[in-house]
Each structure stands twice: as structure tokens, then as C-alpha cells.
Amino acid sequence: MTTHSRYLLGMLVFCMSLMLISGTVIAEEGQGQQKPDMDEYYRELETFADAISLIKDSYVEPVSPKELIKGAMGGMLMSLDDYSQYLEPGDYKEVKEDIKGKFGGIGIQVGMRDGMLTIISPLDGTPASRAGLLPNDIIVKIDGELTKDLDTHGAVKKMRGDPGSKITVTIWREKEQKFFDLTMEREIVNVKSVKKSYIVYDNIGYIKLVEFQETSAKEIEDMLKELVGKNINGIILDLRNNAGGLLNSAIDVAEIFLKKGMAIVSIKGRIEVQNKEYKSARDTSYQDITLVVLVNEGSASASEIVSGAVKDNGRGLLVGKKTFGKGSVQTVVPLKDGSAMRLTTAQYFTPSGVCIHKKGIEPDINVDLIAENKDEKATKSDNVFGKLEPEKEKEEVVDSQLKAAIDVVKTINLTKAKKI
């Protein structure tokens, strides 16, 4: 080993030792994990130091130590799972600014699934939803460039841009076994929490929640108060294509419908102080009203927390399709140079102890969303090229899932009436 390599190894071992010592203290205060095998880390770090030395001396072009370490950190975090990632200072700043909820884009929420950039849900009323993008569509190219080596944050940066500018994405749709291109014009995307509420049928209320934000629970309670004033006898909470949001918001929304003391969700990881079980802490006026929750493949994260709590507590029924399965918890840890690590540190579990991640939640009543063409039955050619012709008349969607939810509410209310 060269002198330079030994120097690098010494520095790396010193840094790693500090990390391991800190990690051991946390573990001992938490779950009492065994001390890591330091010899194993030393052996692996020696190989790493040799690789850095070889790159420094022999790579065709000079590479700065900062770029090498940055690349190593990025690769290390990407190798852990689909959600852990390294954030450069500028990227970290953007992540903090994202809470403003207003940006130029096409209106989709994305995540990584099996190493592929996957659409969790298109946001209603955005270019993505108007173009016909669907949950579980895989984005294989952005403006002609493959997404294979992109993480979620890098993909989001590429898809955002000035309002009025155009973007072309290449999509792989697994169910139809086909690739197709879509060109869209970016718009200012204002992410609203609650989209609408109204009487959907006779005395049945309907509330569409788009994203879990700080004000979501208050908005829903305000709408419920208004709907109850119109003598409703049931509520349909629509969480379809709701990709999530704030954990605290999900807990607050669940509390509206769950009686005090009922379990909502638990978080479990290796750090004891992070492990926690959340229960409903209050009673409201809406905890006995008939409840049906609409879900689909685009319902993820916070939506799955609420859905799981409703289902496991027997508080209501889920109607629609199996949810996305995003049940991991990421912690953003700032680093000294202004960069940060987004690290998966725990997972969500429903009240019955089921891990949501990569599994999703099965609805009580499985219903497909039926789409019927106004004209004659579409040919295979129509289905393929129709996506590339926005001027062509689109399919008229018959909301069979909502109709099924209405029937479920009516049936439950009839059962209640018979018991009385």
C-alpha cells in the first residue's frame, strides 16, 4: 500500500470510527445492539482507500477528492433502498423549499420501485392527469435521456421547469406491455389539500383529499360540519391518487373518524427513540357516521396510514384497488458542508401489525375503475397512438368505484336501520 493510500485509509478509519462509536451509543441507549465488528470495517475501508488511490494516480483526467467522496456517498446510499439518497447543498436547499407547494411542472408524484422511476399518482387537474398518466407507469426517459441512473430527486429536477416549457417523457405501461411518448407543457402546480366536498347521492357526503398537509384535518372537519348540517347519513372519503404528505396530518385526519384510544399507526426502526405508536387522542362528532374510504394504486404513504387505521379498527370499509405500498420513513440529516443524507430509518405498521411497505393494503371490496369509449370499441392502434394525439376525443370515465362506494354506504345504513 502506498503512503498516500495509508494516509487516506487512516483518515477514513478515523471518520468511520467516530460514526461507529456514535452509532453504538445510540444503539445501547435504544435496543442494545452489539458493537459492530471493527476489523471487518477496517478491511473494507482498506480496499476503498486503494481504489481512491488508484483513481487519483491513474484515471485519465484529474478528479478532486470532493467529487470522489461525493460520488461514493451517492452510490452507497442508492445501494441501500429506493428512497435513501445523497443531497448536494443545492438539492438540499430545494428540498427545504418544496414545502411551499408551488412550482412549474407536470403534476406527478414519483418514487423508485425495483430501481425504476415509477409514478405514484398524477395530481388532479394537472398536465399529467390530462395526458392520461396512471399510477405504476414507469418513466424510462425524460426528454430522450434514460432514467436508469437517476434517483427520485434528480428526476424531479429534470421534470420541473419554467411554466410554458415542454417536456417529453417515455412511459412503459406494464399492464398493456407497451412504450409510448407523451409531450406536455409545464404549468404552475398548486398543490391543494382538499379538492372538493358535496352531497354525492341523497344523504351521502363526499370529500376528495388530494394531499395530507398541515391544514387538511381542519379543512375536512369544516366540510363535515357543513355536510352534517345537510343531514347526511354517510361519508365517502376519497383517497385515490393521494400519494401522501405529512405524518402528523394523517394522524389528525384519522382521529376525526376513530374513537379516542384507537391505534392509528406505529413506527418501528433500529433507533429506539424513533419507535412510537400513535393512537387517537380525542373524540369528535363524526366517529359513528357510516364511513367508506376509496383507494387505488395511487394511494400511498399517509393515505395508507389512514386506510389501514380505518380497516384494522373496523371503523369503515375500503373500496377500490390495492394501494401503492410506500411505508418507509426517511429522515433528512444535514451534513457539515451544507449537503444532506435522506436515510430510510423506519417503517410504518398498521394497527394489526402489518407492514405497509412494498405490500400495500387490500380493499375490503375490490372494484376496477371502468372506462367506456363513447364511440365504437377502440382498436389496439387507437390505444397506442391515442396517447400521442391529445386533440383526439378521450374516453368517458364511468366512476364505477364511486358508485360501488355509494352502494356500500346505502347497504350499511340499511343494516343499521334493521338492527334498530
Q: Report if residue 367 sits inside a domain.
A: yes
Last residue of one domain, picked from the residues 190, 221, 252: 190
User: Is there a contact between 298 and 241 (Cβ–Cβ < 8 Å)?
Assistant: yes
Q: Report if residue 75 sits inside a domain.
A: no
Rounded to whole angstroms, the Cα distance separating 218 from 252 reads: 9
Asked whether the predicted pLDDT for residue 395 surpasses 80, the reply is: no
As for how many domains the chain has, the answer is 3
For residues 141-170, average pLDDT: 89
Same domain for 156 and 250, yes or no, is no
Tell me, what's the pLDDT at 35?
Answer: 52
Same domain for 328 and 341, yes or no, is yes
- Residues carrying an active site annotation: 301, 312, 326
Task: Give the three cell numbers for residue 245.
Answer: 404528505
Q: Report if residue 80 sits inside a domain.
A: no
Q: Report if residue 95 sits inside a domain.
A: no
User: Is there a contact between 137 and 117 (Cβ–Cβ < 8 Å)?
Assistant: no
Q: Report if residue 83 sits inside a domain.
A: no
Q: What is the pTM of this model?
A: 0.72
Q: Which long-range contacts (CB under 8 A, 24 or more apart) does 373-381 make?
A: none
For residues 301-308, average pLDDT: 96
Please report which confidence band the pLDDT of residue 21 belongs to, taking 50, 70 and 90 as the band edges.
very low
Same domain for 388 and 403, yes or no, is yes
Torsion on CA atoms 103, 108, 112, 115, rounded to nearest 10: -110
Mean pLDDT of the chain: 82
At 356 the three-state DSSP class reads coil
Rounded to whole angstroms, the Cα distance separating 97 from 189 reads: 14
Q: Lowest-confidence range among 82-86, 266-270, 391-395?
A: 391-395
Rounded to whole angstroms, the Cα distance separating 232 from 174 reads: 41
Same domain for 272 and 328, yes or no, is yes
- The range of the structural domain enclosing residue 365 comes to 194-419
- Report the CATH number at residue 129: 2.30.42.10
Tell me, what's the pLDDT at 282?
Answer: 93
Last residue of one domain, picked from the residues 127, 162, 190: 190
**Residue owning grid cell 470532493:** 66
Rounded to whole angstroms, the Cα distance separating 103 from 346 reads: 29
Q: Report if residue 146 sits inside a domain.
A: yes
Residues 6+ apart with CB under 8 A from 41: 13, 16, 20
Same domain for 231 and 324, yes or no, is yes
Task: Give the three cell numbers for residue 265.
Answer: 399507526
Q: Taking each helix axis from N to C terminus, what angle separates 247-257 and 302-312, rounded to the nearest 10 degrees?
A: 30
Rounded to whole angstroms, the Cα distance separating 266 from 263 reads: 8
Please give the distance of CA 8 from its chain centroid, rounded to a whole number.
39
Q: Which helix (H) or strand (E) holds 169?
A: strand 166-173
Same domain for 205 and 308, yes or no, is yes
At 47 the three-state DSSP class reads helix
DSSP-derived letter for residue 274 is G
Q: Report if residue 91 sits inside a domain.
A: no
- Report the CATH number at residue 261: 3.90.226.10
Same domain for 159 and 205, yes or no, is no
318-375 pLDDT per residue, tens: 999 999 999 998 888 899 889 999 999 999 999 999 999 999 999 999 999 885 544 4
Asked whether the predicted pLDDT for residue 393 surpasses 70, the reply is: no
Same domain for 352 and 408, yes or no, is yes
Same domain for 185 and 246, yes or no, is no
Same domain for 280 and 348, yes or no, is yes
Same domain for 387 and 316, yes or no, is yes
User: Is there a contact between 163 and 188 (Cβ–Cβ < 8 Å)?
Assistant: yes
Same domain for 241 and 373, yes or no, is yes
Q: Report if residue 73 sits inside a domain.
A: no
26-53 pLDDT per residue, tens: 233 333 444 556 778 778 888 888 888 8
Last residue of one domain, picked from the residues 159, 174, 190: 190
